[in-house]
Homo-oligomer: A and B are copies of this chain.
Amino acid sequence: MAEETSPQGGQGLLFLTDEQLRKGIEAMFFAYRGFTADPDRILADKDYGRAHHRAIHFINRSPGTTVNNLLAILGVTKQSLNRVLRSLMQDGLVQSKIGREDKRERHLFLTEAGAVLERALSDAQRDRMRMAYRKAGPVAVAGFRQVLESMMDENMRRQYEALRDRGRS
């Protein structure tokens, strides 16, 4: 900790050393495991996986979204997403309605049962996030979000911000 005595070379640049960067990389790796652990446990019982969780999350977030929209957000192929959606629809958690304007499109909605599972999953995930936020405090949280946003690809950030705005408008 001796290098932090100099306010410039210490605080000013220490956070950019390879060592610091590697710590950040490892922190992301371990934290992401924690981030997914709780929902994974819930899903394991039900023969669903993370892919189902992601689909449910974003359908809940943007009810009536199309398959194509969801593809852009999730960043997978439509064939991959389709398999997940098919099982969710068969199990009655997701409902798809043929578009009125454009009949090629399918608009996706959670059913009541789907909303119940969504709530269970996001409650578990939010609980952990809340704990972490509370422990770290508002200043740390602002920094957390700032770094994550800078880490996104350009088009991911667009997706993220499109979702982001909806909450307030």
Interface string of A9-35 (1 = CB under 8 A from B): 001101110111111111111111111
User: Please, which residues of chain B bring their CB within 8 A of the CB of A159?
Assistant: 30
Residues of A within 8 A of B (CB): 11-12, 14-16, 18-35, 37, 54, 61, 75, 122, 125-126, 128-153, 156-157, 159-160, 163-164, 167
Q: Which residue of B lies closest to A18 (CB)?
A: B126
Contacting pair B21 A153 (CB below 8 A): no
CA distance A16 to B136 in the complex (A): 11
Given A30-B157, A31-B148, check contact A16 B133 (CB 8 Å): yes
Q: Which residue of B lies closest to A143 (CB)?
A: B143
How many identical chains are in the complex?
2
9 closest A-B pairs by beta carbon, nearest first, are: A143-B143, A140-B143, A132-B150, A31-B148, A144-B147, A27-B148, A132-B151, A140-B146, A135-B150
CA distance A53 to B26 in the complex (A): 12
CA distance A129 to B159 in the complex (A): 20
Contacting pair A133 B31 (CB below 8 A): no
Residue in A25, A54, A130, A151 with the greatest tally of chain B CB atoms within 10 Å: A151
